[in-house]
Every structure is written in structure tokens, then in C-alpha cells.
Amino acid sequence: MYRNCYILLVVLMLFTLTSCSRDKEKNVFYETGKVDSPVKDVPKDILATQQAFVNLVKVVTPAVVNISTVSKKKVVPPLFEVHPFFGEFFEEAPSGPRYRKESSLGSGFIINRDGYIITNDHVVRDAESIQVKLSNEKIYDAKIVGGDPKSDIAVIRINAKDPLPVAVLGDSDKLQVGQWAVAIGNPFGLDRTVTVGVVSATGRSNMGIETYENFIQTDASINPGNSGGPLLNVNGEVIGINTAIVAAGQGIGFAIPVNMAKQVVEQLIRKGSVTRAWLGVAIQPVTEEIAASFGLEKAKGALISDVMAGSPAEKAGLRQGDILVTFDGKEVKDARQLQLAVGEAPVGKQVTAEIFRDGKLQKVTLLLASSDSVEARKPRPAKAAAGWLGLDVDELPRSKAQAGVAGVIVTAVEPDSAAAASGIQRGDIIVSVNQRKTGNLQEYAAAMKAAEKRGSVALLVRRGSASIYFALKLR
């Protein structure tokens, strides 16, 4: 009996000690929660920056929406059809084209209390149904107001009885590289994800993403599902529409400048489509060789290789060989920028341009027409490929000469020459050399001898209905 009491006493003592130890551990654990933060003096500017981002997100996020679409895609038929003999072993293929349903996600932002929402055209293009989810979790059916594939901008609309939060559009022309940039969207279906970075660059073009490109580059993370969402400055103003990423890199995303979107959105809401201005010229880049051949100090502007009949350019007196260096008061850095400037200009606007012709700068006045005009819709000549010298020429056949064509014809191209590698072909007609007409072999030879003194030459070549300049080195 005493032994049992002793054992019981020991067990009670051990239990008491264990409980005390646990209580002590608990007390120690809770006491550690009362100690001061490891960093006591956080700089005020850091705290202010952090709070600025918090405030921005609270105010702007309600205007950001998640967009889900369902579209019908045509199924590509199989390579081999099942022979009727084997029909009993295989399910019979349905007659006619087959389709499958596809779902996709994107983002957008509300721009007014009537329920208009800006997003990317590729987010809603070909959608059979569109649903928009707001920050309060309410879901609405949406309809497409209009879309513009060339700029990848679209407007959709929802009918909401309750007042809607609205995003404020900023001024993307005032952007500077290094400014803060905040992206809000729906990447991979993760609602209203916020990422922060900087404006890495502006005016990015030649990306091969859209017809009209003037992208803002940012390292604020943009992923699939972010498309159509806003890119914001620290004031909470929309400065861009998140559009694309570089799949092979990290921290490289692109957004459409909001100022470019404003003009497109206005037309989409008003008439459901976009009409752009039309100049009526075929243009090509000005390379260092072309600049040297034309006597231009540096490679800039856009070289006119052809002028359309009845176009604003023809009416203003523009000619083949003119180099447009300014348009509507702004410098033309390259051919892509000219295309963008004309596309953004209002139809019917009278603009002043500066051209480089015969070694001198001249001013011309252009009255921009609509790209929907009869002249603009006429088939345009296809562009030929640029190339280098390495060819033999001869007089034009009588049949071509009688058709009103003047020049010398390329009869052979050396197989290993730069001209062959770049695309100059047998049958091309050389119309001029350094803007000197070459109606026959004598004129061609004289022009080439004169060009030898400069070390470079610009040939105007006619191929079919297309005209293009070739910059060539002679030394």
C-alpha cells in the first residue's frame, strides 16, 4: 500500500513539474511578443512611400475588374479521315465543321459611371459571352462596344444599377523613365494582384505585337491575365493598359500609353470602330547608307518610296525620294514613328511637314484624308525587299518602254554578291541613281560615275507596281 502511494506521489510531482514547465514556456512565448520591433527607427520617407502605395491600392482597386470570356473555336480536322470500311470499329465523325468552347481571363478598368470598361481587344475578341466581376464580388454580363485590333484596345459595357467606381486617366506624355509604376490585374486568375516597379522605357516600337506600337516598358510584373488592366502612377492615375510580356525574359512588360488609348476609346464609344488619317505614301527606313547617298547628315526620318495617286501626299507635291524629317511640328525619328503620328492625327487636319529634297529642307502643307476614302482603299503595290549592289543592266525591252516605263533593266545578279543575298532580282528596273533619272544605259553610266565620287549610291528600283530604294556602297 505504501509503495502504491509512493508511486502515485511521484507521478503527481512529475505531472506538476511538466505542467509548470509548459506554463513557463507559454509565458516565455507570450512575453517575446511584447518586445520592441527589431527596427525601431524606420525612415519616415520609407513609411510615407509604403503608405502611399497602400492608399493608392485602396482607392483604385474598386475600379479594376476581372473579365472572363467564353469563345467558340473551330477544331482543325484530323489529317486522315476514317475509311467507311472501318466505320463499325470507330465512332462516326460528325459532318461539317466542329467547334470547341474556350475560356479565358483578363482584366479591365471602369472609365465612367455608365459602365464603360477599357480592356485589350485580344481579351474579348471573338467572345460569345463576357462576364465582369467587380471588387464587391458582383458579376455582370457585358457586351462589346467596339474593338480595334491594330492598337489592341477594346471597350465593353455593363449595366449596373448601383454607382460604379471610376478610374482616372492620366497623361502618359509626361512620363519619365524611372517613375514608379503599379500594375493591378488578374494574373493566372488571382484576383486584383498588385505589383510595383518602374517605367523602364517609353516609346518602344518594332516589337511585332501590334500595327501601331508606342509601348511603355515596365518591370512591374505582368503575367497572363493582367492583359487589359491598368498601369498606374503614384497619384493613382492610369498611365497605360497592360498588354504584353516578353516570354523569354523577366521584368519586361509592355503597356499601351493611355493618351494613345483616349483617341481610340472615344471613337469606339461614339461609333464602334476607329477611322485613322491617311497620307498615301509607301515609306521605308533611312539607313546610314541611304542618308549618305542623299546627303543627309544622319540617318533619320522616313524615305518615301512611292506616292499613291489622288492621295494627300500627291496633292501636297510629295515625290519619290523625299525624306520626311518632321510631321506636325515633331521630329520624325524613323518610318515607324511617322506611321504612328499619321495614325493618331485627326482626319481632315491640316498639318505642316518638313522634307529633305535635293540636299535642302522644304516645308509642305498636308490635308490628311480618311483611311476609309476611296483612294485609300485602292490596292497598294506590294513592298519589295531592300538590297545591295552586284548586278548587270541593259536597255529596257521595247514593250516596256512603250508602256511608259523609263529606266534600265537588271539582266543578271552575281550569285555571291550582296545584291543577290539581299533580294535584288533579275528583271528589276532601275529608275534613278542618286535621284538622277536613268532612262538609258548612257544616263545610268554617267550617274554611276558621279556616284563613285561619293562612295555610295541610292538606286530607285521598280518591280512590278512597287518602288523601293536600295542604298549601295561603291568602295
- Residues classed as catalytic: 122, 152, 227
Minimal CA–CA distance to 465: which of 389, 399, 378? 378
**Do residues 228 and 242 touch, judged by C-beta distance below 8 A?**
yes
DSSP state of 39: -
What is the rounded distance in angstroms from the CA atom of residue 230 to the CA atom of residue 240? 6
Three cell numbers, residue 408 = 534600265
What is the rounded distance in angstroms from the CA atom of residue 117 to the CA atom of residue 113? 10
What is the rounded distance in angstroms from the CA atom of residue 58 to the CA atom of residue 369? 45
Three cell numbers, residue 121 = 481587344
Three cell numbers, residue 380 = 497598294
Give the distance, in angstroms, between the CA of residue 225 and the centroid of all CA atoms in the same chain.
17
Give the distance, in angstroms, between the CA of residue 60 and the centroid of all CA atoms in the same chain.
25
Three cell numbers, residue 365 = 502643307
Give the distance, in angstroms, between the CA of residue 474 and the centroid of all CA atoms in the same chain.
38
Cell 519589295 locates to: 384
What is the rounded distance in angstroms from the CA atom of residue 373 to the CA atom of residue 351? 19
Region of residue 368 (left: phi > 0; alpha: psi -120 to 50; beta: else): beta
Distances (CA, A) of 467 to 284, 308, 324: 11, 11, 17
What is the rounded distance in angstroms from the CA atom of residue 425 to the CA atom of residue 151? 35
Cα 154–157–162 angle (5° rounding)?
Answer: 145
* DSSP reduced 3-state for 333: coil
| φ, ψ for residue 48, nearest 5 deg | -65, -40
Instruction: Please report, as a single letter, which amino acid is at residue 236.
Output: G
